Amino acid sequence: MNDMMQMRNPLQLMALGVVLLFGGFLVIFLMVLKLIEPSFALSFLSYAASFLGMLLGLVGVVQHVGSGG
């Protein structure tokens, strides 16, 4: 179970982080433009995606630098 949850490649973590960050930003941007109906749950979900993306990207960068690039 632990092997399934652990990503071996730091570049995959960074890519997933970028996707989550961009997705969270896009949802917030669409809510501001009123193209998506703003709601508390959607705002919280987009914040969580942005935060998780930032965290995963940072972990990926640290792993990449720690492994010697």
Q: What are phi and psi for residue 39, nearest 5 degrees? A: -145, 160
Structure pTM? 0.80
Q: In the predicted model, what is the mean pLDDT of residues 15-24?
A: 96
CA gyration radius for the chain?
Answer: 15
Q: Is 16 in contact with 31 (CB distance < 8 Å)?
A: no
Three-class SS of residue 35?
A: coil
pLDDT tens digits along 54-65:
999 999 999 999
Contacts of 40 (CB under 8 A, 6+ apart): none
What is the residue whose two structure tokens read 């501001």?
32
* Rounded CA separation 40/47 (Å): 10
